[in-house]
Amino acid sequence: MSSEPTKTVLDKLLDYYGAVVALKDQSEESECPVQVEVREYRSETSLLIALTLLDLNEHNRPIPLSHRDQSIHPADAWMDAAKKLIEAAQKKPHKPIIIKTDALRIKLDETEDYLQKRDVLLEEYDNVLLRLGHEAGLLRQIQEVQAHMPYLSTENTIIVWRQAPEVSDVRTRDAWGNVKASVKTRQQSIFMFRQDKIYEKTGARYVESVYDVSQTTYAERWETPTSQAVEHVRALAKLGSVDVAHFNKGFGEDKIVENRPSENMLLINVSADKNQLVLMAAAIIAERLLSNKKNIFPEERNLVSILAAQLYAIRHDFGAYDRTVDDKVEAQLRARLPEERSGILEIARQMALDMTTRTELALEEEASNKKGGSRT
């Protein structure tokens, strides 16, 4: 850190470097209910740190810059705590995005014609589908990418993941330019299919080059996740037009979620593991939403529901790895043909995207209402 006044440093960091990796610390010295969010952005040659003050009285919402006045929120205590985390972050090994150099990459680099690249990508996609369900943990790796980029088709998710497993946000060079960012020099392309255009005569897909956010000058402004597990359950239940109630004290202590279709109700144990709570509630609501879908067989509904719920949970930081659940899901995928696996994953992705979009809007609206109400 420099010797500039605290607010100047803070403003610079917040204005230019949003967050990529989070580190947290609670300042015990400050009397104000403030938490420090320290986030780091690593490029090939530098480490950039962003600090955010979170108001614990406002559901961990970031404190506006206009309110970050020393008379309201003393800065010394949390700044000292932040410095310790910054020092720890600087000692961490640099982990840039890695585009794998393997047989797939060699083939892609050797084929200059984009039609040939398309064939290479399709072949690799088919290979992954064959492995899916047979290799433990493979599904989870794909879901980690899919949860962060649910707008990508399952096909594109898999071929992007195969080239660069750590991707989090891929866009074309022009798309990065639209947000006033540029691709750094000497960056390898990641190839995928265009999702908005095909060859008119043949119906074949175009192949395009994309780049991950870590390969660009863009550091996306990070928004603090403010919703608790129970809030997610309520938002999900609203999608399915279901009421939520808590188990009475002394009852249901060994349960997490109980679905009562006859009463149109979910009973939840608010003391249960938050990851399991969100996962199970999301699966129940997904299955309910899928019940009217004509493009899915009833026997596949449960599997799609679990897959969609897993994507939802991972995206919202409730996706703690559960080997038991994954074993069951992988076994069900293994029993199906590769093309069936592809269809199931795609329906689950679309369902997760729909659930995510609608609940995030509802949660944001609820948070805004709470914030507005607290000022009256």
- pLDDT for 20 equals 24
Task: For residue 78, give Cα distances in angstroms to 34, 39, 82, 179.
Answer: 8, 14, 6, 32
User: What's the CA gap between 181 and 184, in Å, rounded?
Assistant: 9
In this predicted structure, what is the pLDDT of residue 160? 96
Q: What is the pLDDT of residues 109-129, one digit of tens each?
A: 888 888 899 999 999 999 999
Ordered alpha helix ranges (H), the chain: 6-16, 76-90, 103-110, 114-131, 138-148, 154-163, 173-178, 229-239, 274-290, 298-315, 323-334, 338-374
Instruction: Please give the pLDDT value at position 303.
Output: 94
Cα distance from N-terminal residue to C-terminal residue, the chain:
39
Cα dihedral across residues 167, 171, 177, 182: positive or negative = positive
The CA distances from residue 172 to 160, 177, 215, 230, in Å, are 13, 9, 11, 37
Q: What is the pLDDT at residue 79?
A: 54
CA distance 332 to 336: 7
**Nearest 5°: phi and psi at 26?**
-105, 120
- For 29-62, how does the pLDDT look when each residue is reduced to its tens digit (9 = 90+)? 333 444 445 454 445 444 455 555 555 555 555 5
Higher pLDDT, residue 20 or 270: 270
- Average pLDDT of span 70-76: 43
- Give whichever of 23-27, 44-48, 189-193, 366-370 has the largest mean pLDDT: 189-193
Structure token pair of residue 94: 């640099």
> Strand 170-171 and strand 190-198: pairing?
unpaired
The predicted-structure confidence for 253-275, as pLDDT tens digits, reads as follows 678 898 998 899 999 988 888 99
- Residue 34 in contact with residue 61, Cβ under 8 Å? no
pLDDT confidence of 236, banded at 50, 70, 90? very high
Domain ranges of the chain: 6-90, 103-215, 229-374
